[in-house]
Structure formats: C-alpha cells, structure tokens
Amino acid sequence: QTYATVTLQNYFRMYHKLCGMTGTAETEAAELWSIYKLDVVTIPTNLNMVRDDKQDLVYKTKREKYKAVIDEVEKLREAGRPVLVGTTSVEISELLARMLQQKKIPHNVLNAKQHAREAQVITEAGLAGAVTIATNMAGRGTDIKLGPGVKDAGGLAIIGTERHESRRVDRQLRGRAGRQGDPGSSQFYVSLEDDLMRMFGSERIASMMDKLGYKEGDVIQHSMISNSIQRAQKKVEENNFGIRKRLLEYDDVMNKQRNVIYGKREHALFGERLSLDIDNAFAVVAEGLVAGFRQENDYEGFKMAVIVNFGLNTEISEDDFKKTDQNTLVDRLYAEATAQYLNRKADLQAQSVPVFKNIRNTQGKHIENVVVPFADGRKALNVLASLDKTIETEGKELLTNLEKTITLLVIDEAWKEHLRAMDDLKQSVQTAYLEQKDPLVIYKVEAYNQFNNMATEVNKDIVSFLAHASIPVQDNAPVQEAKQVKTDYSKMTANKEEVEAAGEDYAANERDQFDPNGGPAVKQEPVKVGPKVGRNDPCPCGSGKKFKNCHGKDVPA
C-alpha cells in the first residue's frame, strides 16, 4: 500500500532556492529552464583547452571495433601515454579485459566490483603506459593526475567503445583528459551493431559501405557520420525529456491535491486552524445534504441523513424544506449541527474531568498521559491526552486531541485509497488516444472529480464521528498509564540445539496431545493403511473364497 508519492522534480521544487554546478549542463539547458526555471551560465575555463577531440571511427561489426580498440591501446601504450577506455556496461569492460589479457597487456578494471582498489586504480591511471578500463562511473568527477613525462608524450588518451544515449555522458568521459590546460586526446569507436546506431539508420550506412566496397576491418571516419550520431543522441535525449515532462504533467495534478491534503494534516498535527477546518467540514456537509436532497425533493431522506451525519433530529419541517431558500436552510442546519456538537463536547468534558482528577488523586503524580477510548457506534479509536493539561483546561485538551486524532486517521485512510485509485486511473486513461482524446485532459478531469468525492467523504466521516462520539463506560475498569512498552530480550533463549537434537520430531502436529501440567507430550503416530483388497480378489485369510463371500460380506460395495 502506497502512503505517499512524489517525483524528483516536484521534490526539488519544494526548495525555495535551487542551484547547481556541473561541466555538462549546457546540453540540458532547455529542460532546466522548462521544469525549474533555471538559467544555465557557461563559465570559461581557467586555461585554454588543448585536447584533440577526433572524429568517430565507424566499423561494421562489434568484433572489428573491439579489435581496433585493442590495437589502438597497444599503440598508445608503446608511445608512453596512459589510456582510459570507457565502456557502457560491466560486461563489455570484462570482455575488453580478457582481450587485453590475451595480448598480455597490463591493465586495471574500474567497474564497481573492486571497491578496495578503486582509489589505487585512479591514482595509477595517469602514469605512463597505464591502461584503465572503466564504466560510466569513471566519468563522474574523477580527476586523473598525469605522471612524470606524460605531458610530453601527448597526455591522457580517452577511448570510448560506444556512443551513449546521452551526450552528457560522452562529454564527461572526454572531460577526463585535457584538464587545466593539459594535452590529451579523445576518440570514440562505433559499430553499426551498437544500440544507438541500430535505432537510427545503421542499415543506410551499412549499404553505403557495401556499395563502396568496404571490407572487414575497414573504417569510416567523416564529420558527416559524427554529426549523424550526435543528431541520433539528440533525438534520444528529446524523447527521454518528453517522457519525464509527461510524467511531471501527471504528477503536477497530484501535487496540487497533495498540497491540500498535507496542509490539512499540518493543521491537525500542530493545532493551527484545526477548529476552523472542522467548522468548515460542518458547513460543507450541511450544504451537501441540503443541495442533494432538495434537488430530489426527498424530505424523509434528508431527515435520515441529518441523523446519520449530525446525530440530531432536525427542527426543519417539510414545508420549510420545500419552500425556504436553499442558503437559509443551509444556515439553519449548520447552526443546529454546531450547537448540537458544542453540547456534546460539554457533556464529554463534564464526563471526563472527574475521571482524570480521580486518576491524579488515586494513582499519584507519576502518570503523565492517559489513553481514552472513543466510539461512535461503528468505529473506535484511542486518544492520548496529557493528564495535567486536561485537568487545567477542564477537558478541552482531551476534546482537542480527539479532533486531531480523528482528522488524521480519516485523512490518512482516505488518502491511501485515493493514491491507489489515481494509479488505476493513470493506467486506464492511456487508451483515450484511441478516441482521438488527450489522456492527460481526461486524467485531469477525472482526478478532479475523484478528489472532490474524497474530500466530501473525509468531511462526512470526521463530522459523523465527532457528532456521535462517546466514551464507553466500563464498571470497575482499571485505568492504565499510556507508556511505551519495550521487549525484554534478556529473558529470551535460543533453542537451536534443542531443534537440532529433536530433528523431524520437533515439528508440531495438530493431533499431538500436550499436557499443561508439564508431562511429556504424546506424539501422534501416523495412520498406516494396508493394501486394498478387491471384492473379487481371494480373501487374505487363506480360505480360498472370494473376499465378498468371506470376510468382505459386511463391507459395503
């Protein structure tokens, strides 16, 4: 059961101030403005960036691509440059590690499986000839310091084994090289079998390679290919942004309802405006009863509904109900209901205060809180009240806590059911596009109606309980202090040895006989059934007769 939901976007919106710093926010500027109304400001680098970002190398198959990556690593290592190979998954990092092992090239793998060595691997990644294979995590703020002589050799070399769906991840990987004006290079290796390429027109490039006579191992390197890949990434990013934006549009509906409900809960929790909310609940219920039954011209139904909701027999006559103005009827019913509730509160206060004073006099001053049961004939709840405050306020503290407790209980139960209904609604409206309708519009309309229905039921349940609430009286019932009970683990014993010694006999059987006086338990023996004898089979007694003519005479057929 879901108790509360919120999207990350609406969670961040709860803060009055939002800001952040990252090296790759420029590509997401539109989304940051659209959702959070935040501008993206580009800060120039401290030193000029001299990294050489080369055009992508496109191969026909993954096998050719990985072979070219290993050859390039070997060549860069011989030149004395450290190499960082970026992969999209742990499986690919382990595959490249095995290929490097076959060529006997020393390397380190950084894929979240070697927590103890991560710091050491990153420290050694910038040394001359070091080869490091890493997943996306290596691109998240890792600062690889170059070892002695590496700058003269050309700096850190970045090799990407595949283009990611997001340009930000690729830019983060490139950003590991060429930091603070250091030299470096980056090169991405792409195959037509990669997920991103298969989504966006790899067949066209493959057919072009076949027409131009490309053989196995041949590579395409052109700005047109790199631009095509970037356009594909942009499409994926726009699609993902569309999904997030659509989710936010649905959650915005829930967010407005959430704010209303949480506002009422805060009023109940902290006592602010609780009396006003309850007064409004009486007014809303009165207005709903008058409007509903006046429209149906059902006076008897109106009288019964007033008894059910307010616990009073209204003085409004049938002639007044049919002829008097609706607003006047609402005011009269509201006045009757609130007067009845105030009288009930006074009776409950008069009933409870003597009991509380008696507790103080007889039980001593060590009791701080008392739990008081309340019931309305249908449901019951326990209300925690301070003993001293209740006596000082002549019972008002107890009634205030009653209002607080029933309000929180009813709101929480109704909100949980509403969340479930809203989840079902979100799923059901998705088929509205078949009728050429926008599912979001249908969702907003239905969500509004469901929320209004829930709010009406909440008001009715709160008003009905308060109007009928009473303290059940039990003669000579002992009064207990409300305190937290903790389990005493010191008296608990482990029976592991007993279980192991008993073996299968330790398991309980519902027919076992247990002696409450401490005698040994009698274990029920299993019922043993012999082979069944047919009516025309020879009798087991050995007489030679058929069983039905011998010992089976009295056995029913």
Q: What is the pLDDT of residue 552?
A: 78
Q: What is the pLDDT of residue 45?
A: 86
Whether residue 290 has pLDDT greater than 50: yes
Whether residue 410 has pLDDT greater than 80: yes
155-212 confidence digits (pLDDT tens):
999 999 998 888 888 888 998 999 889 999 999 999 888 888 877 666 777 777 677 7
Identify whether the C-beta of residue 55 lies closer than 8 Å to the C-beta of residue 207: no
Q: What is the pLDDT of residue 460?
A: 95
Q: What is the pLDDT of residue 18?
A: 93
199-250 confidence digits (pLDDT tens):
766 677 777 767 777 777 778 777 777 777 888 888 888 888 999 999 899 9
Task: DSSP letter for 384, please.
Answer: E
Kindly state the tokens that stand for 278: 């309850």
CA distance 20 to 43: 13
Q: Which amino acid, residue 361?
A: N
Q: What is the greatest pairwise CA distance in the chain?
A: 113
Half-sphere exposure of 379 (CA within 13 A, CB side): 10
Query: Which residues fall within 8 angstroms of residue 534, CB to CB, at 6 or more apart?
Result: 547
Identify whether the C-beta of residue 482 lies closer than 8 Å to the C-beta of residue 384: yes
CA separation (Å) from 48 to 23, 184, 332? 15, 13, 80
Residue 332 burial by Cβ neighbours in a 10 Å radius (0-12, 13-18, 19+): middle
Per-residue confidence band for 112, with pLDDT thresholds at 50, 70 and 90: low
Residue 81 burial by Cβ neighbours in a 10 Å radius (0-12, 13-18, 19+): buried
Kindly state the tokens that stand for 256: 């407005």
Residue 19 burial by Cβ neighbours in a 10 Å radius (0-12, 13-18, 19+): exposed
Spatial CA neighbour of 10 closest among 257, 237, 227, 178? 257
Identify whether the C-beta of residue 286 lies closer than 8 Å to the C-beta of residue 337: yes
Which string of b and e fits 100-132 if b means at least 16 CB within 10 Å?
A: beeeebebbbbbeeeeeebeebbeebbbbbbbb
Distance of CA 150 to the CA centre of its chain: 48
Strands (E), 83-180: 83-86, 108-110, 131-134, 156-160
Asked which of 208-212, 231-235, 262-266, 275-279 is least confident by mean pLDDT, the reply is 208-212
Is pTM, for the whole model, over 0.75? no
CA distance 274 to 268: 5
Give the helix ranges, DSSP H, for 379-490. Answer: 387-392, 396-428, 439-468
Consecutive H or E run containing 161: none
Q: What is the pLDDT of residue 510?
A: 46
Whether residue 50 has pLDDT greater than 90: yes
Spatial CA neighbour of 373 closest among 473, 252, 278? 473
Task: DSSP letter for 385, please.
Answer: E
Spatial CA neighbour of 156 closest among 169, 147, 167? 147
Q: Which domains does the chain have, with CATH numbers?
A: 1-44 (no CATH), 52-221 (3.40.50.300), 255-468 (1.10.3060.10)
CA separation (Å) from 56 to 186, 229, 528? 9, 9, 79
Identify whether the C-beta of residue 104 lies closer than 8 Å to the C-beta of residue 70: no
Going by their DSSP bridges, the two strands 369-375 and 380-386 should be labelled as antiparallel
394: left (phi over 0), alpha (psi -120 to 50) or beta: left
CA separation (Å) from 169 to 55, 237, 290, 464, 528? 17, 12, 62, 58, 71
CA angle 156, 161, 167 (to 5 degrees): 85
Q: What is the pLDDT of residue 115?
A: 67
Asked which of 218-222, 257-261, 453-457 is least confident by mean pLDDT, the reply is 218-222
Whether residue 281 has pLDDT greater than 80: yes
Asked which of 36-50, 70-84, 95-109, 220-234 is least confident by mean pLDDT, the reply is 220-234
CA distance 151 to 156: 8
Which string of b and e fits 353-388 if b means at least 16 CB within 10 Å?
A: bebbeebbeeeeeebeebebebebeeeeeebebbbe
Whether residue 409 has pLDDT greater than 90: yes
491-547 confidence digits (pLDDT tens):
555 555 665 565 555 444 444 554 545 555 555 566 565 667 777 788 877 777 887
Per-residue confidence band for 548, with pLDDT thresholds at 50, 70 and 90: confident
